[in-house]
């Protein structure tokens, strides 16, 4: 069972890892050009900075990155044709996943990036395309191959896009709503450090933006108005646990995971692109325990010191934390001690887990359709 879960996690991560360069590009554009980005902080006042931000940051994370993931997932199952159908299906999911949340009496609307939805429909579309071609290939008259191939793909894309819009997208929306309601319920019960349990699960499923901007940011805005800083701005954005996880892979990992960890550390901790560490958890799901250890430990420190940030750190990098740290000495100390404790806890626990449950080395050579079919064995509807 553990091996099957690990292989399924490896399959999910294999949809993200080939597209890490696109995540880095988006992260750099975000860090430089958003209104609170590095160029603005350095005093640049060029008019085109805002144009670049509006034209690229939102569209890239809402459309480009999920479509790349869906294409990769479909391609892993059935080559280019599967990838194209996966991207078509993902557009339906993106359109159908807009959400509404009521947080502390306020209605929050949004359309969070559908990475999880793309991971689901990409491989599904690849499988559908493969089965359609299996059916038509022996029945296609000579000379009609291109016509049948193109129309079969187009018609399948129509149906999958509608299914994504009407069924899968709303399911993804409800999943995001459920995580958001869980976070708010835990907070209302006075068990703030335990919020990390659903937050870390949501993060590695790429629901981090829905949780952060849909739930935690509205709650934090009220705190800032009253006390000048908010702990809610720390709960999802804290780069400490992710740093510890990547350090653990660097020390105790093997193969591609070990070799890529140093570069991912720079991207995650200094660039604030937390998405780069999510595949490291997906490829070995037991590592979620390390993330819980780091997150809960950090949150306990934040509570003890009444720590918080003045603004939402965007992106969630150490530089954004420097700019958002309050002037209150105790609260400021809590921010940095909590980050360090979170990194240390996730590193120690992660190193132990990697010794006990070493991750299978995922390389490009493993990414053929037979291996992916084996990885998906036991998933309902896919054989």
Q: Is 293 in contact with 349 (CB distance < 8 Å)?
A: yes
Does the pLDDT at position 120 exceed 60? yes
Instruction: Please report where in the chains the tokens 């900075």 appear, as a residue.
Output: 49
| pLDDT, tens only, 201-221 | 888 887 777 677 667 776 777
User: Of 167-171, 181-185, 221-225, 298-302, which gets the smallest average pLDDT?
Assistant: 221-225
Q: What separation in angstroms does the CA of 90 have from each of 17, 25, 98, 127?
A: 18, 21, 14, 14
Confidence check: pLDDT of 43 > 80: no
On the 0-12 / 13-18 / 19+ scale of CB atoms within 10 A, 4 is middle
Q: 3-state DSSP helix/strand/coil percent for the chain, to nearest 5?
A: 75, 5, 20
pLDDT tens digits, 326-342: 877 888 899 999 999 99
- Give the other-Cβ count within 10 Å of 335's Cβ: 26
Q: 363 vs 318, which has greater pLDDT?
A: 318
Question: Could you check whether the bond before residue 145 is cis, i.e. omega within 30 degrees of 0?
Answer: no
104 φψ region: left (φ > 0), alpha (ψ -120 to 50), beta (else): left
**Distance between CA atoms of residues 174 and 195, nearest Å:** 19
Q: What pLDDT is recorded for position 383? A: 30
pLDDT of residue 367: 45
Distance CA 112, CA 210 (A): 5
pLDDT of 36: 62
**Contact 210/194 with Cβ under 8 angstroms?**
no
By percentage, how much of the chain surpasses pLDDT 70?
84
Query: Which stretch of 95-99, 133-137, 296-300 has the lowest confidence by average pLDDT?
Result: 95-99
pTM of full prediction above 0.75 = no
Under DSSP, the state recorded for 230 is B
**61-110: pLDDT as tens digits:** 889 989 999 999 999 999 999 999 999 999 999 888 765 544 445 544 55
* 140-147 LR contacts (CB < 8 Å, sep 24+): none
Q: How distant is the alpha carbon of residue 4 from its chain centre?
A: 22
Average pLDDT, the chain: 81
Which stretches does DSSP call E strand in the chain?
A: 99-103, 106-110
pLDDT surpasses 50 at 377:
no
**For position 372, what pLDDT does the model report?**
41
Checking if the pLDDT of 50 tops 90, the result is no
Q: Which range is least confidently modeled, 160-169, 294-303, 322-331, 349-358?
A: 322-331
Residue 289 has pLDDT above 80, yes or no: yes
Buried residues in 252-288 as b, exposed as e (16+ CB within 10 A) = bbeebbbebbeebbebbbebbbbbbbbbbbbbbbbbb
User: pLDDT digits over 178-194, tens only?
Assistant: 776 777 788 778 788 89
How far is residue 210 from each of residues 19, 37, 69, 111, 264, measured CA to CA in Å? Answer: 21, 21, 18, 8, 23
The alpha carbon torsion through 201, 206, 207, 213 (nearest 10 deg) reads 120
């Amino acid at each position: 069972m553990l091996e099957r879960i690990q292989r399924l996690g490896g399959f999910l991560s294999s949809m993200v890892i080939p597209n890490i360069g696109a995540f880095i590009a988006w992260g750099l554009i975000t860090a430089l050009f958003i209104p609170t980005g590095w160029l603005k902080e350095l005093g640049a006042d060029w008019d085109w900075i805002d144009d670049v931000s509006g034209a690229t940051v939102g569209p890239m994370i809402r459309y480009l990155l999920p479509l790349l993931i869906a294409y990769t997932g479909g391609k892993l199952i059935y080559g280019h044709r599967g990838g194209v159908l996966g991207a078509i299906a993902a557009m339906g999911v993106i359109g159908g996943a807009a959400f509404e949340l009521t947080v502390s009496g306020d209605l929050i609307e949004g359309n969070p990036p559908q990475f999880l939805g793309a991971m689901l429909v990409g491989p599904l579309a690849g499988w559908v395309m493969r089965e359609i071609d299996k059916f038509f290939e022996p029945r296609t008259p000579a000379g009609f191959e291109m016509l049948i191939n193109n129309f079969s793909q187009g018609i399948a894309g129509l149906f999958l896009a509608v299914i994504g819009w009407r069924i899968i997208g709303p399911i993804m929306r409800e999943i995001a709503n459920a995580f958001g309601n869980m976070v708010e319920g835990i907070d209302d019960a006075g068990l703030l450090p335990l919020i990390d349990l659903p937050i870390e699960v949501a993060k590695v499923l790429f629901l981090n933006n829905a949780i952060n901007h849909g739930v935690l940011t509205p709650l934090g805005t009220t705190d800032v108005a009253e006390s000048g800083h908010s702990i809610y701005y720390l709960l999802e954005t804290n780069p400490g646990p992710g740093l510890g996880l990547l350090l653990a892979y660097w020390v105790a990992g093997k193969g591609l995971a070990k070799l890529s960890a140093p570069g991912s550390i720079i991207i995650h901790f200094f660039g604030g692109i937390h998405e780069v560490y999510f595949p490291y958890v997906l490829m070995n799901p037991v590592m979620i325990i390390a993330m819980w250890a780091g997150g809960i430990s950090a949150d306990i420190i934040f509570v003890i010191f009444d720590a918080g940030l003045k603004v939402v750190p965007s992106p969630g990098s150490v530089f954004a934390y420097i700019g958002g740290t309050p002037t209150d000495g105790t609260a400021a100390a809590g921010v940095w001690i909590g980050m360090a404790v979170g990194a240390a806890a996730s590193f120690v626990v992660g190193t132990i887990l990697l010794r006990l449950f070493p991750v299978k080395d995922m390389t490009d050579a493993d990414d053929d359709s037979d291996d992916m079919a084996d990885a998906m064995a036991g998933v309902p509807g896919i054989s």
